[in-house]
């Protein structure tokens, strides 16, 4: 017999935010299972968790359910207890906000609601709050391996917690084992089912087709514009006609002496380029791990661990790119540029973390990181990220190349003509961001459902295709918008 206890985490879909009324559709928070007055053992055993599990908000404890291998159980009593008025109010609040628990058995996750809200039969205008007091586990096995586990709650076995009064309850559970022919290798197909259902696959492929059409339209648009305009310019300048020298240049040719003038705030500009290159490398490595099957559903916290480790290891890319580019722009404060590169992403991320972690601590949510985990992350940044960033900066300095502009830059910048409002920075940003967003917005829905819901994202291959299409669309729209900006004689194109 194999005796396995259930590891459990209470996932409370709640409205813990400054007195704001909300429900489960707004956002989710996770809390410890025994924060609510359930049957608690004398000594709660907490599972030792890896870095990624802690970052994910997992705080697993052993639950009192004993699921012995292939041993059916009928209505086993966990405990009898009297719920005080405060307990009833607390549980009613949990039921009203769609709190649900998340458990793991043999590394298989499953979920169940604490109760339900229904209309009162006597007064339809009033709600009736029911707390489930019995849980039924249905476990499928093949030979000596657990294949699948489901949990069911019986509405008939519930107590009414609508009123603030003491209630006597008896929590219980039952277990049923069933044999199945599903091989152990396919036991995770259940969690992929929602993503691979025909209607969902159709939506995913529709997203890819939509993105491909966007790419084709952009390609045709750019080819038509650039080939027709630039070809005429090339033909005109290829003739040795002296009269051309007397003709006044217009458009992008008119600002050829200003277009390669170094941008303002070159240190910040170089840091943005370096940090962006690092994040792009981080994304590519994460996709590589996902495509080889590292982030399977019950490998808890693996994604967060990979993000922290790979970000630390790729910091040298940021240092090399930022320093080499900064020196090409004839920057002199190389050390300051390197420090700015190291803090450009980590700084705002740390401030955001401090704010959210403080709120999580106030509400006792499991998203609050313990001091030990914070110390580990700081050590990783100090002992891995920072040294690699410096080494990358040294490599960038040693590989310094001169910036070779294809034309001479004038001493004084030419005045930019008065442009219409839609050629301003903000409208151009909105126009440039619309097409890349339209190429990925369908896939974003599934990503958000995975991040803020209990759905598991598994189809990384389709996500990778959409990611590549996003890069292509972004590159195309960048070329187009930069050309239109230069054609309007606006030579400050670097930052856009």
- pLDDT, position 16: 37
> How far is it, in rounded angstroms, from Cα 154 to Cα 446?
30
Phi, psi torsion values for 69, nearest 5 degrees? -60, 125
Contact between 316 and 387 under an 8 Å Cβ cutoff? The reply is: no
Q: Based on the fold, state whether residues 413 and 433 are members of the same structural domain.
A: yes
Residue 244 lies in a domain: no
Q: Is residue 466 helix, strand or coil? A: helix
282, two tokens: 């981080």
Contacts of 47 (CB under 8 A, 6+ apart): 7, 60, 61, 62
Residue 240 lies in a domain: no
Exposed, middle or buried, 165 (CB in 10 Å: 0-12/13-18/19+)? exposed
Strands 167-179 and 73-83, how do they pair? antiparallel
**Confidence (pTM):** 0.79
Q: Based on the fold, state whether residues 47 and 176 are members of the same structural domain.
A: yes
Q: Based on the fold, state whether residues 20 and 159 are members of the same structural domain.
A: yes
Q: Based on the fold, state whether residues 22 and 141 are members of the same structural domain.
A: yes
Q: Based on the fold, state whether residues 445 and 315 are members of the same structural domain.
A: no
Q: What is the per-residue DSSP string for 332-356?
A: --HHHHHHHHHHHHHHHHHHHHHHH
Domain boundary among 356, 377, 404: 404
User: How many folded domains does the chain comprise?
Assistant: 3
Q: Based on the fold, state whether residues 178 and 193 are members of the same structural domain.
A: no
Q: Based on the fold, state whether residues 398 and 421 are members of the same structural domain.
A: no
The CA-atom distances, in angstroms, between 133 and each of 10, 103, 121, 170, 298 are 16, 16, 21, 7, 27
Domain boundary among 404, 419, 435: 404
Domain boundary among 345, 378, 404: 404
Residue 30 lies in a domain: yes
- pLDDT, position 17: 33
Q: Based on the fold, state whether residues 380 and 418 are members of the same structural domain.
A: no
260, two tokens: 């390669």
pLDDT in tens, the chain (496 residues): 344 445 555 544 443 333 333 344 445 678 888 888 888 887 888 888 888 888 888 888 888 888 999 899 988 998 898 999 999 999 999 999 888 888 888 888 888 889 999 887 777 778 889 999 999 999 999 989 999 999 998 888 899 999 889 999 999 999 999 999 999 888 877 776 655 455 566 777 777 887 788 778 877 877 787 777 777 766 765 654 545 454 555 667 778 788 888 999 999 999 999 999 999 999 999 999 998 888 876 677 888 899 999 999 999 999 999 999 999 998 889 999 999 999 999 999 999 999 999 999 998 888 899 999 999 999 999 999 999 999 999 999 998 778 887 778 888 888 888 888 888 889 998 988 888 888 888 888 878 877 776 566 777 888 898 899 889 888 888 888 888 888 888 888 999 8
Residue 242 lies in a domain: no
Residue 246 lies in a domain: no
Q: Based on the fold, state whether residues 226 and 332 are members of the same structural domain.
A: no
Q: Is residue 276 helix, strand or coil? A: helix
What's the gap between Cα 342 and its chain centre?
A: 21
- pLDDT, position 179: 94
- pLDDT, position 27: 54
> How many CA within 13 A on the CB side of residue 199?
1
Q: Based on the fold, state whether residues 165 and 43 are members of the same structural domain.
A: yes
Q: Based on the fold, state whether residues 418 and 486 are members of the same structural domain.
A: yes
Q: Based on the fold, state whether residues 124 and 139 are members of the same structural domain.
A: yes
- pLDDT, position 18: 31
- pLDDT, position 5: 45
Contact between 6 and 109 under an 8 Å Cβ cutoff? The reply is: no
- Residue 18 belongs to what domain range? 3-187
Element (H, E) at 432: helix 425-452
Residue 166 lies in a domain: yes
Within the chain, what is the greatest distance between any pair of CA atoms? Answer: 102
Residue 241 lies in a domain: no
Phi, psi torsion values for 35, nearest 5 degrees? -70, -25
Element (H, E) at 52: helix 51-55
Using the structure block, give the residue that is written with the tokens 């000594």. Answer: 43
Residue 238 lies in a domain: no
């Amino acid at each position: 017999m194999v005796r396995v206890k259930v590891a459990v985490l209470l996932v409370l879909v709640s409205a813990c935010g400054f007195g704001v009324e909300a429900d489960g559709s707004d956002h989710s928070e996770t809390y410890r299972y025994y924060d609510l007055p359930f049957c608690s053992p004398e000594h709660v055993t907490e599972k030792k968790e890896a870095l990624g599990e802690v970052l994910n908000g997992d705080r697993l404890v052993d639950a009192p359910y004993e699921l012995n291998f292939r041993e059916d159980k009928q209505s086993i009593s966990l405990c009898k207890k009297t719920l005080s008025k405060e307990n009833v109010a607390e549980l009613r609040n949990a039921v009203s906000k769609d709190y649900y628990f998340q458990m793991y058995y043999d590394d298989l996750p499953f979920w169940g609601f604490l109760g339900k809200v229904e209309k009162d039969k006597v007064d339809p205008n009033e709600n009736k709050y029911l707390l489930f007091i019995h849980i039924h586990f249905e476990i499928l096995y093949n030979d000596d391996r657990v294949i699948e586990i489901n949990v069911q709650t019986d509405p008939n076995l519930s107590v009414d917690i609508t009123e603030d009064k003491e209630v006597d309850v008896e929590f219980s559970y039952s277990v049923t084992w069933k044999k199945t022919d599903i091989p152990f290798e396919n036991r995770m197909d259940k969690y992929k089912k929602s993503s691979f259902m025909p209607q969902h696959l159709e939506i995913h492929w529709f997203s890819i087709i939509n993105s491909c059409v966007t790419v084709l339209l952009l390609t045709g648009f750019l080819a038509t514009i650039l080939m027709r305009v630039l070809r005429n310019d090339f033909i005109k300048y290829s003739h040795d006609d002296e009269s051309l020298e007397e003709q006044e240049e217009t458009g992008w040719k008119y600002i050829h002496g200003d277009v390669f003038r170094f941008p303002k705030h070159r240190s910040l500009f170089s840091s943005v380029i370096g940090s962006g290159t690092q994040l792009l490398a981080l994304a590519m490595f994460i996709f590589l791990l996902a495509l080889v099957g590292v982030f399977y559903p019950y490998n808890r916290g693996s994604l967060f661990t990979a993000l922290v480790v790979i970000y630390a290891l790729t910091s040298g890319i940021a240092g090399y790119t930022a320093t080499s580019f900064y020196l090409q722009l004839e920057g002199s404060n190389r050390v300051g540029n390197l420090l700015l590169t190291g803090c450009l992403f980590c700084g705002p991320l740390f401030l955001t973390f401090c704010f959210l972690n403080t709120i999580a601590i106030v509400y006792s949510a499991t998203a609050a990181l313990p001091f030990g985990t914070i110390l580990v992350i700081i050590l990783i940044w100090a002992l891995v990220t920072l040294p690699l960033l410096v080494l990358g900066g040294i490599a960038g300095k040693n590989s310094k190349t001169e910036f070779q502009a294809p034309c001479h830059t004038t001493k004084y910048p030419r005045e930019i003509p008065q442009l219409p409002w839609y050629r301003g920075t903000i409208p151009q940003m909105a126009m440039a961001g619309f097409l890349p967003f339209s190429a990925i917005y369908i896939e974003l829905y599934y990503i958000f459902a995975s991040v803020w819901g209990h759905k598991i994202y598994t189809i990384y291959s389709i996500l990778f295709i959409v990611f590549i299409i996003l890069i292509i669309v972004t590159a195309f729209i960048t070329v187009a918008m930069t050309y239109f900006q230069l054609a309007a004689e606006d030579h400050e194109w670097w930052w856009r």
